[in-house]
Amino acid sequence: MLQLIRAIWVVAILINLSAVIWFILGTTANFQRGIDLVSTVILVYFGIPSILLIILSIFLFIKRWLPASSWGIVALSVIILCMLSLSPTLFKNVNKSGWLLENVVTDTLQITADGQYEYQFELVNLFQKNSNARLYVKRISDGEEMRISLDMPLNKIKGLSEEKVNYWVVMDGTSEKDKYIMHTTSKFPLPDRKYKVDLEKREAVKTE
């Protein structure tokens, strides 16, 4: 009987520990961002009690403690039930966005003046350490899509205003085929940044 309870206890510890680790990794996007208010509340009410129960259980395991009376079995059963009941909430509230899934914010889709391409500015995982910017381009004639990385200091952005229609970048044509000048607009927190975009090479180079 005691060996069965011990086995269930081990399973409960592993499940609860997995839930805590999964929640922390997901909430911080693998430590790429801070914990928001909602996640903080969940951590306080479900995460911290779980951590305390795990620490208590490990301590009792190190001491090789096993219940020697019916009250001890009841107490251990309560610990196991608490760990198992706290785990589902932690698993359920994991935010995969910005970690397992990209969190992409875009401006309004536009078409180049020559009518050759559709384009859109993409901000990936904004306000995280692993944030990056890129230009989405689609050739209208055959539907070919490409995404071009942009060297941009997104860590300088403290806030981003979004409206129903947003034009954060503009692509101007040049005398050369498939070459454009892209610049950020005054609506974007980092205005007047220019890039020479070569769609044939699929690259963008920052210019003065």
The model's pLDDT over 53-110, given as tens digits with 9 standing for 90+, comes to 999 999 998 888 887 788 888 999 999 999 999 999 999 998 888 888 899 999 999 9
Q: Is residue 99 within 8 Å of residue 26, measured between CB atoms?
A: yes
Q: What's the whole-model pTM score? A: 0.79
Tens of pLDDT along 174-189?
999 999 999 999 999 9
CA angle 191, 193, 194 (to 5 degrees): 140
CA nearest to 183, candidates 147, 146, 135, 140: 135
The pLDDT value recorded for residue 1 is 66
> Could you read off the pLDDT of 29-56 as tens digits, one per residue?
989 998 889 999 999 999 999 999 999 9
Compute CA distances 7 → 2, 61, 107, whole Å. 9, 12, 54
Residue in the structure block whose two tokens are 């610990």: 79
Name the amino acid, one letter, at 75: A
